[in-house]
Amino acid sequence: MDKFDYYHKKKQKNNNIKQVEKISQCIDFIGDIGLGTFVDPVTFAVEKQFTECYIRIDHNIFDIHTMEYVYRFLISSLHRIIISPNDKNSFILIIKDPLHIHIPSSSFQETQILDFTPTKLINRCHSIYFSLPEYSDKVIQILQNNKQGITHFERLTINIPYIVDSSIDLQPKIIIEYPSQQETAVLFQLEGLYLQGIIIPSQITKEIIKSLCQFTKDVLLFFKKQATMKAQSMDYLRVFSLEQVIEKCQIDYNGTTKKWKDEELVLKMEVNSSLIRLGYGYNESNAILEDFSPEFRVKMLRMKFLNNEKRMQVMERLETDLMCFYMIKGYKSFFQKRYFQFLLSNPSQSRSGACWFIDNQDGKTTMAAYQSLGIDLKSPKIKNAGILLMRTGLFGSDSIATVGIYPQQIKVIDDITNESGYTFSDGVGRIGYPLAKKVLNEYKRNSNLFIKSDEPYAFQIRFAGVKGVLTVDRLDMTETIYFRPSQIKIEALPKTIQKLRVIQIPQFRSGRMNEQLALGLEYLQIPPSNFISSAKQYLKKYFSVTPNREIISLFQRFTNNPVIEVALKMIMASNGNQKIYEEPFIRATSLVLRMSLLSEKTDFIKFDIDNSAFLMGVMDESGLLEEGEVFIQVTSPTITIPSSRLLVVKFPATHPGDFVLLNNVVDKINLEKKKGYERLTYLRDVIVFSSKGNRPDPNKLSGGDLDGDEYLIIWNPLFLPKPEINSHPPAIYDSEKVHLEKFLEFTDMKRAFLSQLYSKFVLSRISVSHKESCMNIGMCAEVTKSLSQLISITVDAPKTGAEVDGGEINELVEQVSKINSSNKSILLVLKSFFNEQIPIIMDTFYTELIELVNTIHYNSEFVSNSILSDVIPFARKTRNEFNNEINWFLKKSVPQRILRGSEPLQLIIGGIFKKGNVDRLEWEKEEKEINQTLLVIYSNYRKKVEQEAGRRKIPLRRLCDACYQVTYDKKYYTNNELLDCGKNKVVCLLFPWIIRPQQNIMFIHSTMIKSLPNIQLSKIKLKQIK
């Protein structure tokens, strides 16, 4: 094939084109390819001015015109367009597209010609399926059926001829108007499969839905996976039998049926530039789901917007982002009469592109929801759309319900202010000790977190329209809560009992180095040798010959990971037997976890700092602390924070005044024992700031307050400046509050939400220039300070309504670009150090890991001496099924932005750890769903082994021991049964441990082991670790 027979050019769009061209005998409509929503061209052009987006066919080529570019293809690459005779508004467009491999925009030249050989055209069909249902908003679906899953298309008008194919039926046979709880979950799973090109609407019948409603959540997830695998094996759009997939699920899980609990269901949807995912989750917990009308849960949809498959990207242009149309028009379901529209979001969720939609099919539910929240648009506390969004977002914060609070238990007390207008108690109130004990007990009972302390010190809370922190008053023996006006964001205190919701409690967390901290310490004249010394201590602690106690400490930082959970239970159950640390699964888990931690270091300057901590900020209620003094003590018996000068930082820390030196006065308070000192000395794992002075110390720290902000405290001598160096004067963080010039409406929140996402792009641009300026001319330079001020304004812009001056940004960015680069920055020094050290350690760990799995053998300490030979075939078959399912999950289900090529190593232990370069907030959102799915897989195989033991009437331990033997003895593997790990063949070591009863994982009789919960590790006490 000549290279000119097929070519693809991408060139800058001529934005002067303003008319939508029309071709005779064509279908004309406009759409958002990653969005799934169509309207007619006139409406779309009027609302969004996208008239320049269309497809044009001209002789032997066709152009796909998007907002920014033109994609040109030969007409011969248009393989087929299929129209269903019973639905003339729906069609399938199939393009032979060898260029469907993702090529970054920056790599294209205006006249670039790409050469492709005939072999590269084989099996490279790209299928997109458009469906135009019969309702006014004309929502469409896109099925992207090639295995790469990436598209270059954005918005366009389709003007193409078509072929009628009578063999394809694109209309759904069933639409359920008022589905039940289980029907809702089933329909969302089916709709998710439909959107991904796995099934077509005509496959869905009442019988299919009825059969699927008999499944538990676990089996329904298994059904989705089986259907996906079936579609992949049949090259997608070839219709396969859903009945066969259902039958397989019934056989594998013995027709498992179980009623769902209403409080477990959460509908979820994810949108990115190439596809839409629909499904359901569970164990979401917030006020809107639990504290109001019970029907809210089944009507709520958690929406997450990702601009592409790799990671959440900032929006450079609001009007071109793929989420805008959903925000305006909402989402209409295909198989049930549900019309989801935007309801609320909060800053934490919006940073990761998430928000909540609600079913407003009746046109009344959304307003009823807002009214039930008690939000008054005329309230003086709600000054603009950004504030309105933040106030409604309070009810969507992830939180845990604890004890019920009666109105008579609530008292409102005055804020502590000074003559300058500063509020020292901004965001913090009090709670009586007896009530605090009850709240903590309920929080521990309902939380999966590892909670060490039995004493309450403070809570970050949500309650009706109240947000902030409650500090425990040890001298108050009443069951009373004291709120302050600065905490009451919505005048909606309940008239009946309502549960106090807890977001988090104070827990000691070791501090970490990052780029902003390193640049600030460099400004404080900390020498590079101190950074290198601290980095070496970190590497020695976790990545050399790691003591067993450090392995336990490392595992306890990741107790929400199901693989770590199993490993910790094994260590606990060993009852102090040190040989457990040589068990291959424990060793492999330790190695893979540490390798995932190391993978961050080549790109980010991050490492743990000894003698440092992140602590929640609270205010001194006793009035004993003077300005510049703090009180800090922690629960850990091995850590003592001295009474001396220490460094306090709150992020983002971009101004030299954000690094404040304060004095810890623990010894002074304990020695003087003034009246009320018990209130102060009781508190632990928090930093207590003074309530005196000209300006609150938290406000000096990046404009912080006390509504849940965490502060980094450093008392490590390596990072404390010399005595003669004082703190730089703090910046002024009082942003002007901007009011709207019109009355607020709830619909204004949509634009406020988009504005918050747009501000991420602006913030990213300023932050990059700020870092470059710090590295080249220092944090104290005027240009750097100006950029710092812009960062502060941009961060607050969504709630203040302030306009960010684009001209000022461009001017400062240009100034920074003209500064000569410096090669002396501490960031370059640290990066050079880690780039030198990390590969050596990684190679050592990898060699050790591969050697470990290649020399595994079973140990009689963990298995009985007599194995029943007749159960070996079942154990071997089940092991292979488990390994294949984990392998499929890692390679097909976990987004590549999480694994980034590390799945072979993670396959050895059968779990997921965050890979470097993954945004923390994004990972935290992904991690919960990934871990829940893994727990489902583990539970399914545990049940399968238990059922087989019952069927054979043999002790469960005998069957588990056989599973252990077939996993750890290489003679029970053929070459096809081993798993690919790069050039090596390995085994998955997790299988024999997850199929054991988790409350007695070693099958030994011990009171301690029997008391271990099946899922939670929060009951495990540190004193149990030998």
| Among 633, 620, 708, CA closest to 664 | 633
- What pLDDT was estimated at residue 997? 86
Most confident among 44-58, 208-222, 287-301 (mean pLDDT): 208-222
More confident call, 400 vs 51? 400
Q: What confidence tens digit (pLDDT) does each residue in 683-735 have?
A: 999 999 999 999 999 999 988 899 999 999 999 999 999 988 888 899 887 65
- Whether residue 105 has pLDDT greater than 50: no
Complete DSSP assignment for 922-966? HHHHHHHHHHHHHHHHHHHHHHHHHHHHHHHT--HHHHHHHHHHH
Pairing type for strands 266-271 and 300-305 reads parallel
Least Cα distance to 387 among 841, 753, 837 occurs for 753
In angstroms, the CA 1016 to CA 184 distance is 29
The per-residue pLDDT for 54 is 43
Identify the residue whose tokens are 């989705």: 224
Give the dihedral sign, CA 452/455/459/462: positive
Bigger pLDDT: 915 vs 672: 672
Grade residue 557 by pLDDT with cuts at 50, 70 and 90. Answer: confident
Q: How far apart are the first and last CA of the chain?
A: 71
**Predicted local distance difference test score (pLDDT) of residue 99:** 33
Least confident span in 317-326, 692-701, 788-797:
317-326
What pLDDT does 139 receive?
Answer: 23
- Give all strands (DSSP E) within 744-868, no chain letters: none
Instruction: Please answer whether residues 159 and 26 qualify as being in contact, where contact means their C-beta atoms are separated by less than 8 angstroms.
Output: yes
User: Is the pLDDT score of 915 beyond 60?
Assistant: no
Burial of 312 (0-12, 13-18, 19+ CB in 10 A): buried
Half-sphere exposure of 299 (CA within 13 A, CB side): 24
Q: Is the pLDDT of residue 833 over 80?
A: yes
Of the two residues 260 and 593, the one the predictor is more confident about is: 593
- Which range among 172-186, 422-436, 873-887 has the greatest average pLDDT? 422-436
If we measure between CA atoms, which residue out of 251, 199, 265, 194 comes closest to residue 222? 251
H or E element, residue 629 = strand 629-633
Tens of pLDDT, residues 450-480: 677 889 999 999 998 899 999 999 999 999 9
* Residue predicted with more confidence, 664 or 14: 664
Handedness of CA 561, 567, 571, 573 (dihedral sign): positive
Asked whether the predicted pLDDT for residue 57 surpasses 90, the reply is no
Query: Average pLDDT, stretch 323-333?
Result: 70
What mean pLDDT comes out for the span 886-897? 70
pLDDT at 36 over 90: no
pLDDT classification of 18: cutoffs 50, 70, 90: very low
Q: What is the mean pLDDT of residues 284-307?
A: 75
Instruction: Look at the pTM and tell me if it is higher than 0.95.
Output: no
Predicted local confidence at residue 796, as pLDDT: 79
Residues pairing with 70 in the sheet: 11, 65
Which range has the worst mean pLDDT, 321-330, 672-681, 723-732, 933-942? 321-330
Residue pair 34/322 in contact by the 8 Å Cβ criterion: yes
What mean pLDDT value characterizes the chain? 73
Three-class DSSP category at 92: strand
User: Mind listing the pLDDT tens digit for each residue in 755-775?
Assistant: 777 777 778 888 889 999 999
Tens digits of per-residue pLDDT, 77-91? 544 444 444 444 444
Beta bridge partners of residue 73, listed in sequence order: 62
Specify the DSSP class assigned to residue 331: E
Beta bridge partners of 645: 663
Cβ(309)–Cβ(276) under 8 Å? Answer: no
Buried b / exposed e across 404-425, counting CB within 10 Å, b at 16+?
A: ebeeebbeeeeebeeeeeebbb
Task: State residue 923's pLDDT score.
Answer: 57
Q: State which of 329-338, 589-598, 735-744 shows the largest mean pLDDT.
A: 589-598
Read off the pLDDT of residues 112-157 as tens digits, 9 standing for 90 and up.
222 222 222 222 223 333 332 232 222 222 222 222 222 323 222 2
Q: What angle do CA 843, 846, 851 make, to 5 degrees?
A: 125
How far apart are the C-alpha atoms of 369 and 363, rounded to whole Å? 12
- pLDDT for 646 equals 95
Query: What per-residue confidence (pLDDT) applies to 334?
Result: 72
Q: What is the pLDDT of residue 499?
A: 92
Check if the beta carbon of residue 522 is closer than 8 Å to that of residue 516.
no
375-397 average pLDDT score: 84
Q: In what order do the strands lie in the sheet with 125-130?
A: 125-130, 87-96, 78-84, 163-164
* pLDDT > 70: percent of the chain: 68
Query: Is there a contact between 636 and 556 (Cβ–Cβ < 8 Å)?
Result: no
Q: What is the DSSP letter of 1016?
A: -
The mean pLDDT value for 487-508 works out to 89
Lowest mean pLDDT among 284-293, 296-305, 497-506, 841-850: 284-293
What are 616's strand-pairing partners? 686, 710
Mean pLDDT confidence for 393-398 = 86
The string of pLDDT tens digits covering residues 199-253 is 777 788 888 888 888 887 778 877 887 887 777 666 544 567 888 888 888 877 6
Which segments of 59-146 are extended strands (E)? 61-65, 69-74, 78-84, 87-96, 125-130
- pLDDT given at position 441: 93
